[in-house]
Structure 1
């Protein structure tokens, strides 16, 4: 008698050829393998291994052990518009004879840590984007004064004995000048722009990661949100409430709370938010302008893993000295003799003779014109001078730290006088107030929150500034660097420095933004590490 099983097997063999039968067996084995794998997974055989605290032994990112979330170090993404500047040591200060007799930039050796800086100067179209946002958010809400305070002063183009009215009307607004550097912007306005840019970039980062709802954010802000607009610090302090995006509530959300539930709120430790855009310090700006990374022998010697500790070619301008007057391209090519920057060659000569224009720019040129320096930065010499963060002082070696030198600190804390829920100002930012000196008496690193005039008038420096009496220098005097379209070549040297009051502006001064870099100084890759790592050695017992 033929059993049912045998009957079915005979009929299967009659239907399928040997090759097909082999495929059936392979499929059956695969099904068994998947079933076994699932069983093993349920028995925690392949359980995910968690990172463990080297201090306590408890697991990170483990819901069974408190779920303390620790983001893994990863590539530091460069924020929009920025270029990574690998830090180092250099001689800050004059590189040529002090023909002006200012005696305000004595050369001295300092170190600048790695940071980011804009590839180009901020252009008219970028600043108009800022004003457009302000008009929709604050102007629509009836806060026109905030919009008016941000507008550049186009009257800087006027001169009693020159016809510059077309620039007054068109330089900032006409599409032909979209990518020309914005001018007529004071130091205060440039600082405000940097703060606005920080919030817009971080808001988009949260939208792109799915932690903020895109439609509700745009609808809310651009329809007159006023004070209730996105601010990074307000978001982190729970002073800004927003509609979470789809990712926040999904199972794929990598952020979890102590109970293992998806976390809708991002914190800075998650590594999603960018740092603050700001004006570069004078030291950062000058270091970036020289582009000394182009001097690194590592670029030339493939066998060398690290460059020599020297700068072989002291530069006068932002590009390498390669002969003649250092202001023109000297290599044999179609560019030979071309000017490398936009500046005034002499009295009455802003661009040269028709048919043979020397720099081909009577006023500021496009922000990507002329030759970039070693870091790929445009117009660090010429085009427009640029605001930096520092308060101006005729510096001596005693005036600044040799690491990340900067004068301009006012140490602040959050103003809690209004209580939680009322910490934001009329622009939606967290209100900050200077720290109380009485609370700093026991500190050793600083005793006063106001550090703009540090060492002024004391027994150590023997320096005092009587603004309007003996000098024009005050705590509102801010440094600007780089030389402009209307300056002689002397001012194009990154070491040269001048100052202007922080609430004034000019048709020859613009700015670019910077951002601090977090992590290893060498680069933005996960392979970059701080310090030198050697093979571990076993201790003999």
Structure 2
């Protein structure tokens, strides 16, 4: 009896052990669905099975997402009622450690000049349209010509934040930065030829989305540049046919796009709430990116020093020279002040910063409270007659004529041509029905439903925001020469400056009083205009896990 009992116990333990081993089987290289090998052996499917997580892109720091109260913490002295507190949750993301500097932006301009020589008429507006407006420094009752002539290009200002850049130019810089970073990554991993990034011209540029969707159309179709030494590692032989496989999203090599941060992301990152966290709640709310209610340091070593670059009073942009001076008359060099808890510099003062959102007085948290963003305009890739994506060439560059008459390129050669999402594309979808969602649920009854007349003709009387409509048109004479006809909206019945072309900017600047240093404060400005106190920094979405490291016990 004892032997049988012992045998039963032995077999029970063995069975449990077998089941446990089977359940804990390492599926790293095998499919949990089929058990098949996923490493590409024997001509089968190949996947990235040893991915170690998203790399941090150049210039970025990681911001772990979470919940926070977005909105006002001070009295609403402006009485504009545009930042009522709401509870929001932000997904993990990355953000630039500092603002984009003059030197960073000059690299963009020099690349454009080399790739699309402005001496050629068909490329002229690409470079000219990207130039910052250096005349923003001029004041009719002030002498600022030194900044007008030197601020952008002089090496003394190379590590100062770039200004005079409008929102559209900032977004185009972000696209350029994405492509240059991914271009270098592919070359460093030897998936493209060594030095490929130096051998481009207007007919052989690199674009990340083009490479993913139609790799043979990058670099002008030059296969010697597209494929590097490690390309053979991506090549598979399936059923005796060789498939030349290029890097795809599933390989985890390419980074997501650099972009402007959303307003929620920017405010969350600026607050750096980790210093007032107690387990799963906040002990209080912060007025500034640093701890405390004052703009001067309370530390023993730096007592009395200013914690940001801002205007302290009428005619006082830095204080009395010496001990109490904030070290800057205009903008300050990056990293002149201590970072916040996330390691981000100048999230208050120095320059205000563009964010991605279209401005509306109300943040509609009743409709969404996760990764809130107003400004979605959904597009799709244009498909050519050959059934593949349509790539822009030097002969069909996409331009925008701005309200001030400036011409900017919105689609460079090598990029995929985009087109709006149609009603057929969104048929029976529940989450969106329109391509342009900038004015979705604006707040009044008409815009919350459908405010256009039959035939999609907009009725001016039904516009919620009747901002001025200045119009710029291109006129051609009998000889074929073109000129711009600028028409001002002189109506005296306009009641607002808000429309779908104004964007939020945050953070306070060297021109602002301390009130605007509060990360919750929000203002707006036309997206195609620039000032001497608005700059920008980039963000990047986090793909995969919320945190970079596993949770650990608190110290």
| TM-score bucket of the superposed structures, by smaller chain | 0.7 to 0.9
**Residue 356 of structure 2 is aligned with which of 389, 404, 410?**
389
- The residue number in structure 2 matching 1:200 is 180
The correspondence for 2:165, drawn from 176, 185, 196, is: 185
Kindly indicate whether residue 208 of structure 2 is the aligned counterpart of residue 232 of structure 1: yes
Q: What does the per-residue CA deviation read over 1:388-437, in whole Å, with 9 as the maximum and x for residues that have no partner?
A: 00000001445751000000001110112564364225312111111002
Residue 391 to residue 50, structure 1, CA distance change in 2 (3 Å): closer
What is aligned with 1:305? Answer: none
Where 2:94 maps in the other structure, the secondary structure is strand
> Is the counterpart of residue 292 in structure 1 residue 256 in structure 2?
no
Of 233, 256, 260, the residue aligned with 1:279 is: 260
Match of 1:458 in 2: 445
Asked which structure has the greater CA Rg, the reply is 1
Cα 1:256–1:91, aligned 2, differ >3 Å: closer, same or farther?
Answer: same
In structure 2, relative to structure 1, the CA distance for the partners of 1:340 and 1:61 (3 Å cut) is: same
* Partner residue, 1:218: 198
What residue in structure 2 maps to residue 9 of structure 1? none
Q: Show the counterpart of 2:285.
A: 314
Query: Of the candidates 514, 527, 545, which is equivalent to residue 502 of structure 1?
Result: 527
The runs of 5 or more residues in structure 2 that have no matched partner are 1-25, 398-411, 450-462, 469-493
- In the other structure, the counterpart of 2:506 is 481
Unmatched runs of 5 consecutive residues or more in structure 1: 1-47, 298-307, 530-541
**Mapped partners of 1:290, 1:215: distance in 2:** 42
Q: Give the structure 2 partner of residue 247 of structure 1.
A: 229
Q: TM-score, normalised by structure 2?
A: 0.79
Query: Quick check: 1:188–1:502 contact (8 Å CA) kept in 2?
Result: yes
Deviation at 1:228, TM superposition (A): 2.7
Q: Deviations over 1:428-458 (max 9, x none)?
A: 2111111002432311111111100101343
Please state how far the C-alpha of 1:249 moved relative to its aligned partner: 4.8
Q: Residue in 2 aligned with 1:157?
A: 137
Q: Which residue of 2 aligns with 1:81?
A: 59
Q: After superposition, what is the alpha-carbon deviation per residue over 1:102-144, rounded to whole angstroms, capped at 9, x for unaligned? A: 1000001010000000000000000000000000001168212
3-state SS in 2 of match to 1:353: coil
Residues 332-351 of structure 1 mapped to structure 2, 5 A cutoff: 332-333=300-301, 335-351=302-318
In structure 2, the residue matched to 1:104 is: 82
**SS of the residue 1:356 aligns to:** coil
Matches within 5 A, 1:301-380: 308-321=279-292, 325-333=293-301, 335-380=302-347
CA–CA separation in structure 2 for the residues paired with 1:503 and 1:49: 52
Distance 1:415 1:362 in 2: 49
1:436 equivalent among 419, 422, 425? 422
Name the counterpart of 2:382.
415
Residues of 1 paired with 2:248 and 2:323: CA distance? 57
Bigger CA drift: 414-423 or 101-110?
Answer: 414-423
| Residues in 2 aligned to 1:470 and 1:348: alpha-carbon distance in whole angstroms | 32
**Superposition CA RMSD, Å:** 2.3
8 Å contact 1:288–1:375 — kept in the other structure?
A: yes
Q: Which moved more, 1:260-269 or 1:280-289?
A: 260-269
Q: 1:148 aligns with which of 120, 128, 142?
A: 128
Alpha-carbon offset, residue 178 of structure 1 = 0.4
Cross-structure match for 2:150: 170
How far 1:172 moved relative to its partner?
A: 0.5
Q: Is the 8 A contact 2:170 2:536 kept in 1?
A: yes
How many residue pairs align between the two structures?
460
Please report how far the alpha carbon of residue 61 of structure 1 lies from its aligned counterpart in structure 2 after TM superposition: 1.0
